[in-house]
Structure 1
Amino acid sequence: MYIELDKDEYQIVRKYFNFNFQIPAVAVINKDFPGKIYVDNKKNPKGIIVWAISRWAYAYFELENLKRNREFFKELMIKEIAPIIDSLKEQYFEVYSLNDDYDKILEEEIEGFCLYNKHYENTFILNEEKFNRLDLKNIDGDVLEKSFPIIPEEYKNHFKITGMNKETEGMIFIVEGKTVSQCVNNGFEYDSKYFIDLDTFNEKKRKKGYASIVAYELIKKQKNKGMKPLWETREDNIPSLRVAEKLGFEKLERYPVYIWKKVIKK
């Protein structure tokens, strides 16, 4: 059985999410980012899912009652998450875990889903001394400020949640009139820390330093506001790891992420 918490009940689960990589969950709990929170019971929760809309969920489970937690997660996936994923035509749903002990709960078979992938991600924190020594020059294009929606447009019709129309700050790198790279404060903020999203869209434009420059400019701007960036990436994402190292980020945390895939009925 699962229960969806009302907004005035979110702080019930705050004490269970204390790592930097869980800041997206904390942003939801603090009502700074749109999401939903589900528990197995309100008084003393043993199973918790904090869903930061759109695809990211953060799990907390106590392991003394595996059967109960497995049923909690299965029922939630089938009755709540699957219908929304279907309506949005999404195929994947990610669950961020504390450790591999959660295999005992999250690797169970679930009707309508298959466990597509389990991998490990790292969160990095900026070494400001290293960053301050950088002097990245913008040669080939222009870096401009731009606001971005905190949530993709297509999600706004499916959730009656305050904050869906919020915007967040970012930078874009323009070459010959086209945006080739962008870096965004993705809206996951807590205690002056925020997560970065970085993309270079055209594969032919990669390995030219554009991503480093646009990230560098965003970090400088946010730094002037007293904000401290966090970088998150898969352990096997070598290009992302190289950019992080170049900018002065250092590894902070490691954790497993489970990707569930919706089974498409033929």
Structure 2
Amino acid sequence: MQHIIYTYSTLEVWAVVSGYNPGRIYVDDISNITAALVWIQGQSGFQLIGDPQSEPFMKELPAFMRTHIEPELAELTLDSVKNGVQDERWEEVLRNMADKRELSSDNQHVYRFHSPQGTEHVKGNEQANNDVQLLDWNAVQLVRVDSALMHDLKVANSSFLEDKITYFWSTVDDFLKHGFGYMLVHEQNNEIMSICLSGFVAGQAHAIDIETVEAYRNRGYAAVVAKAFVEACRREGLQPYWDCSPDNTGSIRLAERLGMVFDFDYTVYWYPLSS
């Protein structure tokens, strides 16, 4: 399996194969693996890796998906099958999987620091610092999401954080063992405003996931928690990993403001579950 993922760049695949994040791995031939289908829990989707010309996958994967995988996705109330690829030669297999259903596609962008820890970028970013200065720190508290916090979490919307963690991780304890995060808490309202945490982890790389409670959106809070997360990565020798769609201009601008630069892209294909 390692000989396949060494040529594959997406962190989500590494996280599942390494056993940090939950998922499943289906291979073409257990005695001679040349291709694999990786189910990634935190994305509710799959990634195809290895040889797109794998004969078992070309002949058997479409029927396997329809018989075994798609019924399970339907039970999860998903409306489409999503597959990420870095080799567009997979399109033939994907068209066979979609059969008569429409196959759509789009790109995903990945941003990283090109310097080892991005130190010069984060330190020199005045705009990100200004976001922090604009907050009323008498009403807002920036806190690190760790074991001490989770064991003494007393906010009205604690389920917001717990649901976000278990979307990516098997348990909260798994997250606390391998990942971390930051969140803004409105002290007067006693509720979480915005969070940024490790969605996927593989080695020293941490995929960033950010979400702001709807009532607090479009106020720059995401920039504050993202900056705290990225600076913690810098201090601790970790590598932040930012994955977003090319039409999410707000996310791209924020990544660039934090000093991250475009690293690579990959293609996501999807087709509807129903015919």
TM bin, normalised by shorter chain, reads 0.7 to 0.9
Q: What is aligned with 1:5?
A: none
Q: Aligned partners of 2:213 and 2:119: how far apart in 1?
A: 28
**More deviation, 68-77/220-229:** 68-77
Which residue does 2:108 correspond to in 1?
A: 121
| AA in 2 matched with 1:34 | P
Query: Greater relative contact order: 1 or 2 (C-alpha under 8 angstroms, separation 6 or more)?
Result: 2
Shift of 1:132: 2.1
Q: Distance in 2 between matches of 1:235 and 1:203?
A: 25
Opposite residue 49 of structure 2, the aligned amino acid is: Y
Task: Say if 1:53 and 1:169 are closer, same or farther in 2 by CA, change over 3 A.
Answer: same
What does residue 166 of structure 1 align with? 174
For residues 42 and 20 of structure 1, what CA distance do their matches in structure 2 show? 19
Distance 1:21 1:65, change over 3 A: closer
After TM superposition, give the deviation of residue 19 of structure 1 in Å: 5.7
User: 2:119–2:234: 8 Å Cα contact kept in structure 1?
Assistant: no
Name the structure 2 match of 1:152.
167
Unaligned runs of 5+ in 2: 151-160
Q: What is residue 9 of structure 1 aligned with on the other side?
A: none
Return the letter of the residue paired with 1:26: W
1:243, distance to aligned residue in structure 2 (A) = 0.5
Give the Cα separation in 1 of the matches to 2:111 and 2:20: 22
Structure 2 contact 61–97 (Cα < 8 Å) conserved: no
Distance 1:63 1:37, change over 3 A: closer
Pair 1:164–1:118, CA change in 2 (3 A): farther
String of CA shifts for 1:42-73, please: whole Å, max 9, x gaps: 2323431111224132212424456x423333
Match of residue 85, structure 1, among 42, 60, 73: 73
Aligned to 2:124: 133
**Kept in 2: contact 1:151–1:165 (CA 8 A):** no
Return closer, same or farther for 1:254/1:134 CA change in 2, 3 Å cut-off: same
Q: Decide which of 87, 93, 107 is 2:95's aligned counterpart.
A: 107
Structure 1 pair 128/104, CA: closer, same or farther in 2 (3 Å)?
Answer: farther
RMSD of aligned residue pairs (Cα, Å): 2.9
1:229 alignment partner in structure 2:
240
Deviations 1:112-162 (A, max 9, x none): x94563100111112331112235225143222236554339x97xxxxxx
Deviates more, 1:53-62 or 1:28-37: 53-62
Report the residue type matching 1:132 in the other structure: K
Kept after mapping to 1: 8 A contact 2:26/2:36: yes
Q: From the superposition, tell whether residues 115 and 198 of structure 1 become closer, same or farther in structure 2 (CA, over 3 Å).
A: farther
Matches within 5 A, 1:1-266: 13-18=1-6, 21-54=9-42, 55-64=44-53, 68-110=56-98, 114-115=101-102, 117-126=104-113, 127-134=118-125, 136=129, 137-138=132-133, 139-140=135-136, 141-146=140-145, 150-152=165-167, 166-167=174-175, 168-175=179-186, 177=189, 178-186=191-199, 188-202=200-214, 205-206=217-218, 208-263=219-274
Evaluate the alpha carbon distance shift between residue 253 and residue 35 of structure 1 in structure 2; reply closer, same or farther with a 3 A threshold: same
8 Å contact from structure 2 (residues 8, 49) kept in 1: no
Q: 1:52 to 1:142 in 2, by over 3 A?
A: same
Q: State the alpha-carbon separation in 2 of the partners of residues 240 and 115 from structure 1.
A: 28
Q: 1:237 to 1:96 in 2, by over 3 A?
A: same
Secondary structure of 1:107's match?
A: helix
CA distance in 2, matches of 1:130, 1:196: 17
User: How far apart, in 2, do the equivalents of 1:86 and 1:182 lie?
Assistant: 30
Task: Considering fraction of residues, name the structure with more strand.
Answer: 1
Whole-angstrom CA distance in 1 between matches of 2:185 and 2:172: 28
Aligned to 2:157: none
For normalisation by structure 1, the TM-score amounts to 0.78
TM-score, normalization by structure 2:
0.76
Tell me the equivalent position of 2:158.
none
Q: Which sections of structure 1, spanning at least 5 residues, go unmatched?
A: 1-12, 157-162
